[in-house]
Amino acid sequence: MTLSRETIDDLCLALEPRLAKAAILTDPAETERYTIDFWRQHRGRTSLVLRPGSTEEVAAIVREAAARGVGLVPQSGNTGLVAGGIPDKSGDQVLLSLERMDKIRHFDPTGGHLVAEAGCILADVQAAADAVGRLFPLSLGAEGSCRIGGNLSTNAGGVNVLRYGMTRQLVLGLEVVLADGRVWNGLRALPKDNTGYDLKQLFIGAEGSLGIITAAVLKLAAKPKERQTIWLGIESPAAALELLALFQNQLGELISSFELINGFGVEAADQHLAGGKRPLAEPHPWHLLIEVAWSLPEGLEGPVERTLEAAFEQGLIQDGTIAQNEAQRAAMWHIREGQSEATSQIGYVLRSDISVAVADLPALIGKAEAHFAGIAPDIPLFPFGHVGDGNLHFNFLLPRDEARIAELKPLLSAELALLVASFGGSFSAEHGVGRLKRPELERYKDPLELELMRRLKTGLDPQNILNPGVIV
């Protein structure tokens, strides 16, 4: 439907008695920030932003929207990279922001969980867990601004997947507002509950298209008491895989992160990232950032040093260093997390998010480098990411030229997706589908899988009012 002024006024009139004044925004000066993505590369339109402060208010909004056939776009921290949390360009969708739902409702350190509302900032959840001597292990570059609802709705990955798994492995229960406004209370903190379908998993990774997540029971882990953070300069992705095998053999489940970074990105960060400084004296073709940790207070340094000695003896490392304090550790992670920010100072960054089997990473990188050198030899390609779980971000640095961006974006994206598909990989490892990757979904997803996804969408949201246009 076309969202007319009359419909907006009618919806606001119905909601005004139930929502605080600050929860209804119609002034373009106030609504604009909700329609632009984090990197300001994509823009949508809306005439109305609703900011509920409770699950009951979310349910009321959904009921009134459903009665009028109005599409709702749920948004948490608006740090997504596939335009799944901003409205489309039609102006016919209402933005539903969960940012005011930012309470931690319950703590159970002994039981190893907490209950957080969807608007809680990830870093705040981490800090709250830390304050009671526990760890919430989800960690990613946007953790200072991304929110739990978005993390759940995109099944966020991050740097600790190797040890703790994706977001869906960190959830015990959910509270979800359904498309008719009813509330499913699945906030059960049961590690074992084998009573039929695991309904919470339907909504994790669904990007708000099947239901609106309002709260979650999140699993906590033991807080590491000793951590070793290592930066290595290496020759190739093949060396990275040999080092991964060596570390896994020697340190096993103690490995939290195993990050591969292209030398181009490291040098860009060294030169253009505020506070960025290459951890090693000399440039290297590739770098690894590795983190291992355990719950004992001491004793980890010896096993780490013996593992590094073996790696040097095998010729797998060109140079390396271990962080001696928290400041050095933070500086290493600043380089890793600042890749996009640093390269954005030079040109337009075309981002991607792919995964293949870990063993295929060197071959994929080699083929990609050769392939894109033939297509666009003047465009730097700088892969980086989570080599331990087969997920890399193949980013391209384009010139700030609108004509070339318009020419190269679809070409490079399509060619990369085709190359990844040839390895049996995924065109979206952790960012989701959103609006931007729907063409790839239609092209590469098995037809039966697409049919099942559409059946789920139709069954749970027959009016198509929940994030219409996202995923399916």
In a domain, 119, yes or no: yes
Does position 102 have pLDDT exceeding 80, yes or no?
Answer: yes
Among 277, 310, 341, give the residue marking a domain's end.
341
Q: Indicate if 236 and 304 belong to the same structural domain.
A: yes
Q: What is the mean pLDDT of residues 278-282?
A: 97
Q: Indicate if 204 and 160 belong to the same structural domain.
A: yes
In a domain, 450, yes or no: no
Q: Look at the alpha carbons of 99, 78, 174, 122 in this order and tell me if their dihedral is positive or negative.
A: negative
Q: Indicate if 248 and 322 belong to the same structural domain.
A: yes
Q: Indicate if 183 and 262 belong to the same structural domain.
A: no
In a domain, 446, yes or no: no
Coil, strand or helix at 422: helix
Q: Indicate if 123 and 188 belong to the same structural domain.
A: yes
Looking only at the bridges linking them, the beta strands covering 183-186 and 221-222 are: unpaired
**Dihedrals phi, psi of 104, to nearest 5 degrees:** -95, 115
Give pLDDT tens digits for 441-468. 999 999 999 999 999 999 999 999 999 9
Does position 415 have pLDDT exceeding 90, yes or no?
Answer: yes
Residue 186 amino acid letter: G
In a domain, 447, yes or no: no
pLDDT computed for residue 362 by the predictor: 97
Does position 51 have pLDDT exceeding 90, yes or no?
Answer: yes
Cβ contact 98:109 at 8 Å: no
In a domain, 453, yes or no: no
Does position 137 have pLDDT exceeding 70, yes or no?
Answer: yes
Does position 170 have pLDDT exceeding 60, yes or no?
Answer: yes
Look-up of token digits 């948490």: 76
Q: Kindly report the average pLDDT of the chain as a whole number.
A: 96
pLDDT computed for residue 41 by the predictor: 87
Q: Indicate if 336 and 235 belong to the same structural domain.
A: yes
The closest of 450, 372, 343, 340 to 81, measured between CA atoms, is 340
CATH classification at residue 41: 3.30.43.10
Q: Indicate if 315 and 408 belong to the same structural domain.
A: no
pLDDT computed for residue 114 by the predictor: 98
CATH classification at residue 110: 3.30.465.10
Give the burial string for 120-130 (b: 16+ CB within 10 Å, else e). Answer: bbbbbbbebbe
Q: Indicate if 78 and 119 belong to the same structural domain.
A: no
Give pLDDT tens digits for 236-269. 999 999 999 999 999 999 999 999 999 999 999 9
Counting residues of the chain whose pLDDT is more than 90, the rounded percentage is 97
Residue 359 amino acid letter: A
Torsion region of 464: left, alpha or beta (phi above 0 gives left; psi -120 to 50 gives alpha):
left
CATH classification at residue 309: 3.30.70.2190
Coil, strand or helix at 176: strand
Q: Indicate if 77 and 181 belong to the same structural domain.
A: no
Based on the number of CB atoms within 10 Å of its own CB, is 184 exposed (0-12), middle (13-18) or buried (19 or more)?
Answer: middle
**Dihedrals phi, psi of 452, to nearest 5 degrees:** -65, -40
Does position 285 have pLDDT exceeding 70, yes or no?
Answer: yes
- The token pair at 147 is 């929110």
Number of structural domains the chain divides into: 4
Rounded to whole angstroms, the Cα distance separating 19 from 14 reads: 10
Rounded to whole angstroms, the Cα distance separating 433 from 295 reads: 37
Rounded to whole angstroms, the Cα distance separating 253 from 255 reads: 5
What number of other Cβ atoms are within 10 A of residue 422's Cβ? 12
Query: How does residue 39 score in pLDDT terms, banded at 50, 70 and 90?
Result: confident
Does position 118 have pLDDT exceeding 60, yes or no?
Answer: yes
In a domain, 465, yes or no: no
Q: Look at the alpha carbons of 351, 353, 214, 208 in this order and tell me if their dihedral is positive or negative.
A: positive
In a domain, 443, yes or no: no
Q: Indicate if 379 and 333 belong to the same structural domain.
A: no
**How many residues are recorded in the chain?**
472
**Dihedrals phi, psi of 355, to nearest 5 degrees:** -145, 145
Give pLDDT tens digits for 183-215. 999 999 999 999 999 999 999 999 999 999 999
pLDDT computed for residue 1 by the predictor: 53
Among 162, 197, 222, give the residue marking a domain's end.
222
User: Structural domain of residue 93, as residue ranges?
Assistant: 5-97
Does position 2 have pLDDT exceeding 80, yes or no?
Answer: no
What are the beta bridge partners of residue 101?
none
Q: Indicate if 199 and 120 belong to the same structural domain.
A: yes
The closest of 416, 374, 382, 414 to 398, measured between CA atoms, is 382
What number of other Cβ atoms are within 10 A of residue 9's Cβ? 12
Among 171, 192, 222, give the residue marking a domain's end.
222
CATH classification at residue 365: 3.30.70.2740
The closest of 32, 34, 40 to 349, measured between CA atoms, is 40
Does position 5 have pLDDT exceeding 90, yes or no?
Answer: no
Q: Indicate if 232 and 304 belong to the same structural domain.
A: yes
In a domain, 442, yes or no: no
pLDDT computed for residue 3 by the predictor: 83
Give pLDDT tens digits for 298-353. 999 999 999 999 999 999 999 999 999 999 999 999 999 999 899 999 999 999 99
